[in-house]
Amino acid sequence: MSREARIMMLHYITGLVIIVAGAIHLATVFLVSPYEESLRFDNTPWSVINVYRNSLLAGSLEALLLAVAFHGFNGLRVILLELHQGRTWTRAVNVAVTVAAIAVVINGTKTIFIASML
């Protein structure tokens, strides 16, 4: 399988992960927990902070973050490569979206990690 085919395969897989992890996230907020409680920042069972403390839910949020970062930035890469062609442009786009995706993942992971420690 070529490099581009592997990237696109991962693109489709992360699309599915977004649907599953996104559904878990939305179900947690709107169906499982009382909605009012899910917005609170205290020690009630379904408060924001307790969701982060639950390793399973925090893990699904991390999976959502990774999937969204890859899927979104790869989608942006595909659009940018279609709009303009050339070796320098391709390299610049690849570097820029990779750096941006890594920055988003680091920042998001930091948030999940810090929140779970509170």
Partner 1 sequence: MSGKLQEVRLRVYRYDPSNGGRPRYDIFSVPVKKDTTVLSALLYVKEKLDPTLSIRFSCRMATCGSCGMMINGLPRLACYTLVSQLKSKTITVQPLNNFPVVKDLVADFTDFFGKHRAMKPYLLRIDTYEQEKSNISYRQTDEELLKYIQFAYCIRCGLCYAACPVVATDKRFPGPQALSQLYRYYIDSRDEGGGERLEVVSDSHGVLRCHFAGSCSQVCPKGVDPALAIQLLRRELLFGRRTG
Q: Which region, judged by CB under 8 A, interacts with partner 1, from 19-27, 48-56, 61-69, 82-90?
A: 82-90
85 binds partner 1 (CB under 8 A): yes
Given the complex with partner 1, which of 11 and 25 has the nearer CB atom? 11
Could you give the CA distance from residue 110 to residue 30 in angstroms, rounded to a whole number?
25
Contacts 24+ apart (CB under 8 A), 5-14: 7/74, 10/70, 10/74, 11/70, 11/71, 11/74, 11/75, 14/66, 14/67, 14/68, 14/70, 14/71, 14/74
76 binds partner 1 (CB under 8 A): no
Q: Which region, judged by CB under 8 A, interacts with partner 1, from 42-50, 53-61, 80-88, 107-115?
A: 80-88
Tell me the chain's radius of gyration from C-alpha atoms.
Answer: 17
2 binds partner 1 (CB under 8 A): yes
Could you give the CA distance from residue 29 to residue 71 in angstroms, rounded to a whole number?
23
Q: Which region, judged by CB under 8 A, interacts with partner 1, from 4-12, 30-38, 44-52, 102-110?
A: 4-12
Q: Point out which residues bind partner 1 (CB under 8 A).
A: 1-2, 4-5, 8-9, 78, 81-83, 85, 90
